[in-house]
Amino acid sequence: MIAHRAFAIVFAAFVSGCIGVPTPVPSPAEDLVAYDQFVFIDDDLADGEAVWIDKSGARRTATGTLEVWAQLRNQTGEPIELEARVRFFDRDRVPLEGPSGWTRMFLTPKGITTFRAFSTGTTEVIHFYVEIQEGA
């Protein structure tokens, strides 16, 4: 009886683990994306101790594209390398274009730098989402 049960368990493990029973993937909740924000996606930076965002904003350029910018401050006594990229969305928060390329920034100890990026679209671009990570 025990042997039968063991056989059943092994068989069930085999079927579920190796053949692969599809598990439902939770759909990404809209609220998970912090629109119009600059977000540190690195755990090391997420606590906001090492790098501060002094100022940030977005404005229309003369050609109608959207410019987003942020002034970043290195709070540490060590140089920090950062990378940032931006995604743009329309009024309904539908992504309009792929993410920009990563922009590399070098922060001197206690220094500041500016991240600046433009959308390719014009009036349809309303929202943005900037990811910042430590440079590799």
Give the footprint of other proteins on this chain (CB under 8 A). Answer: 3-4, 6-7, 10-11, 13-14, 17-18, 61-63, 65, 67, 97, 100-104, 117-121, 136
Helix ranges (H only) for the chain are 2-14, 43-46
The nearest distance, CB 37 to other proteins, in angstroms, is 20
List the beta bridge partners of residue 87: 129
- Of the pair 17, 28, the CB lying nearest other proteins is at 17
- Of the pair 74, 119, the CB lying nearest other proteins is at 119
14-48 core/surface letters (b: 16 or more CB in 10 A; e: else): eeeeeeeeeeeeeeeeeeeeeeeebebeeeebeee
The nearest distance, CB 60 to other proteins, in angstroms, is 10
The nearest distance, CB 23 to other proteins, in angstroms, is 16
